[in-house]
Amino acid sequence: MGEHVVLFNEDGSRTDGRGLDELRPIRIKVGVLSNAQGSAYIEQGKNKILAAVYGPKEALPKHISLPDRCILRCRYHMAPFSTTERKSPAPSRREIELSMVLRNALEPLVMTSLFPRTVIDIFIEVLQADGGTRCAGLTAAVLALADAGIPLRGLAAACAVGKADGKVIVDLNDLEDKYGEADMPIAYNPTLDGITLLQMDGIMSKEEVEQALSLAITATQKMHKMQVDALRERFSVQRRET
Ligand code: ADP
């Protein structure tokens, strides 16, 4: 913020040519790693993110286990080569916080009471970052959980909405995230009609927040369809192979 960067072309399109309510191109593949129990890979614009899941497995050391449900552990991490300047591989404060934020957003989706005294480990590895990695990471992590066969209360997809040069926009890229006026990451589960992640950085009016929220719900519903297609592709391929 502070420094002014032009975020719209003369024809009103965004710097990457998109319309205000347009998502970046998205590619999703489920079941990309053979060693993890569940995995998924997502490309959203220039973001490239892998998610992997292990569990439910016995929670060790025992004192971390809960008698009535499974616990979730989540690690969000950006690879040292994920940004234009080498990033330190050590977990930063931001990564530690995002790991907690994503864990809290994923927990309501998992039927944890079916697996007492166990733990599920979720790893989100950002290979290339271009704004909105927490959201794309969550979209992939939900699919990795589904791929591991873990019972879920629906699939959530996530997308950031926000404001740049006075306009409400969907799926902010790195430039819009850094130089726009507001950024609001949202995860939405259409099955429960529920929001499991909502954060906000910057300032928007009440009307703008309402507009952004409705744009986020439309965008995440589109992403939800892509998630279902990716799961269908995964399991129809597996059927053919066996
Ligand atoms: P999100 O990726 O969920 O939007 P932030 O808003 O914190 O999370 O980050 C926005 C973008 O800033 C990231 O997607 C990435 O492109 C860039 N970024 C984050 N951390 C670093 C870092 N340590 N070095 C370089 N770029 C970074």
Cα distances (angstroms) measured from residue 61 to each of 31, 112, 165: 29, 18, 51
Residue 20: inside a domain:
no
Residue 42: inside a domain:
yes
Cβ of 171 closer than 6 Å to ligand 1, yes or no, is: no
C-alpha 43/C-alpha 186 separation (Å) is 18
Residue 9: inside a domain:
no
Mean pLDDT of the chain: 96
Beta strands across the sheet bearing 118-128: 26-30, 38-44, 47-58, 118-128, 71-78
Give the CATH number of the domain where residue 159 resides. Answer: 3.30.230.70
User: Rounded to the nearest whole angstrom, what is the distance from the C-alpha of residue 58 to the centroid of ligand 1?
Assistant: 34
Cβ of 177 closer than 6 Å to ligand 1, yes or no, is: yes
Q: How many of the other CB atoms lie within 10 Å of CB of 45?
A: 20
C-alpha 187/C-alpha 138 separation (Å) is 8
The answer to whether the pTM exceeds 0.75 is yes
Q: How many domains does the chain have?
A: 1
Structural contact between residues 186 and 162, judged by C-beta atoms closer than 8 angstroms? no
Domain that holds residue 124: 26-241
Residue 8: inside a domain:
no
* Per-residue confidence (pLDDT) for residue 2, from 0 to 100: 56
Residue 11: inside a domain:
no
Regions of the chain short of the pLDDT cut 50: none
Cβ of 43 closer than 6 Å to ligand 1, yes or no, is: no
Question: Hey, what amino acid is at 232?
Answer: R
* Per-residue confidence (pLDDT) for residue 230, from 0 to 100: 98
Structural contact between residues 239 and 31, judged by C-beta atoms closer than 8 angstroms? no
* Per-residue confidence (pLDDT) for residue 5, from 0 to 100: 87
Residue 214: inside a domain:
yes
Burial class, 4, CB count within 10 angstroms (exposed 0-12 / middle 13-18 / buried 19+): exposed
Residue 219: inside a domain:
yes
Residue 97: inside a domain:
yes
Cβ of 176 closer than 6 Å to ligand 1, yes or no, is: no
